[in-house]
Amino acid sequence: MLALDAGQSGIRLRWEHGLERLEGDAPGILTDRPLMPQVAEAAIAFLTEHRLTPTVLGVGSSGLVAPEAAELLGLVAPAGITEVAVAHDSTTSYLGALGDSPGAVVAAGTGVVALAVGRRSVARVDGWGHLLGDAGSAFWIGRAGMDAAMRGYDGRGRMTRLTARLAELFPDLSTAYVELQSDHRRVSRIADFARVVDEAADTDPVAAGIMDAAAAELSESVLAGLRRVGLMGHEPPQVCALGQVLRSRHVRDRFTSYLRMQWPSLTLTEPLGNALHGASLLANLGEDSPLAALVARAELP
């Protein structure tokens, strides 16, 4: 089979046949454009390059509203694929990290989404894109960092090293907004600035405040999901934290401390695998799983 994890910063692909495995990557998807043609193009290019002929395709993708499995199957059928399973990347992140056991998984990269799974119900929190949500994501951090930098440039806010760091990318800060607005990769480009904010957080209180606020947003998303599926009991639930943002020591430590206000003994659960692994599990997900309703399937007769 072929598994595909499509994010805004990049697409990862993995072909598996028995014990054989081959991985690759492609440019990220643009969520303001039709998604299935972008996914199909990445899949076919990978298969063509390596002369592979899988029959099953499992896809987890950012930006999905209604997974169009039949549309995707029509696009990839010429490559020999006869079965497709598609889900939002919150579903594949969860499957890869915790299987279908109860708990919560938050994945914070360019965007962010949290998924909580109870014994009979599922709750998705955020994942609403950079215009309406994605609170605590790399884009959210990068945007806040750039805002702080420009405030420092104008003299409207606290002085911060972020102004000088932004000037390394845009020597004329007065034209930075024009360059960003005209760049079709502006979302991932702004998200990249999150790394700069994280690096500055050790010595810059403005940057540290942004990272602390991101941790608070991510912990609240997890708690909201756990409340909705009835996992706010005395025993700490499984909570798995994924993605580049949660690899930051600043964010991860504060995120954990916020959750420990509810469960002092809580320890973050290490993931079993990643979203790409979760995508490979979609086609065989049992109908009795709470996650089954979140997966769209299509198969050639």
Q: Are 283 and 69 in contact (CB under 8 A)?
A: no
Write the pLDDT tens digit of every residue in 262-297: 999 999 999 998 889 999 998 888 888 899 989 999
Percent residues over pLDDT 90 in the chain: 77
- Does residue 246 sit within a domain? yes
Same domain, 283 and 252: no
Domain count, the chain: 2
Same domain, 68 and 134: no
- Does residue 212 sit within a domain? yes
Q: For residue 220, give the amino acid letter.
A: E
DSSP letter assigned to residue 237:
P
Write the pLDDT tens digit of every residue in 185-241: 899 899 999 999 999 999 999 999 999 999 999 999 999 999 999 999 999 999 999
Q: Kindly indicate the confidence band of residue 14, based on its pLDDT and cuts at 50, 70 and 90.
A: very high
Bridge partner residues of 107 (DSSP): 113, 242
Q: Is 111 exposed, middle or buried (0-12, 13-18, 19+ CB in 10 A)?
A: buried
Chain centroid to Cα 12, Å, comes to 12
CATH number for the domain that contains residue 192: 3.30.420.40
Q: In whole angstroms, how far apart are CA 133 and each of 120, 130, 138, 146, 221?
A: 26, 6, 12, 18, 11
Same domain, 234 and 114: yes
Q: Please compute the mean of the pLDDT values over residues 18-40 and round it to a whole number.
A: 89
Q: In whole angstroms, how far apart are CA 103 and each of 62, 118, 172, 276?
A: 21, 7, 47, 19
Return the closest-CA partner of residue 61 out of 11, 100, 124, 131.
11
Same domain, 31 and 138: no
- Does residue 94 sit within a domain? no
Tell me what pLDDT residue 226 has.
Answer: 97
Q: Please compute the mean of the pLDDT values over residues 114-138 and round it to a whole number.
A: 93
Return the closest-CA partner of residue 59 out of 49, 50, 75, 48.
75
Distance CA 134, CA 113 (A): 7
Same domain, 244 and 211: yes
Distance CA 11, CA 40 (A): 11
CATH number for the domain that contains residue 17: 3.30.420
Same domain, 107 and 193: yes
Same domain, 106 and 210: yes
Long-range (24+ apart) CB contacts under 8 A made by 149-158 are 149/173, 150/176, 152/206, 157/206, 158/205, 158/206
Write the pLDDT tens digit of every residue in 138-194: 999 999 999 999 999 999 988 999 999 999 999 999 999 999 999 888 998 999 999
Same domain, 140 and 63: no
Tell me what pLDDT residue 119 has.
Answer: 87
Same domain, 171 and 187: yes
Q: In whole angstroms, how far apart are CA 191 and each of 104, 138, 139, 271?
A: 24, 5, 4, 24
The answer on pLDDT for 66 being more than 80 is no
Domain housing 175 = 100-271
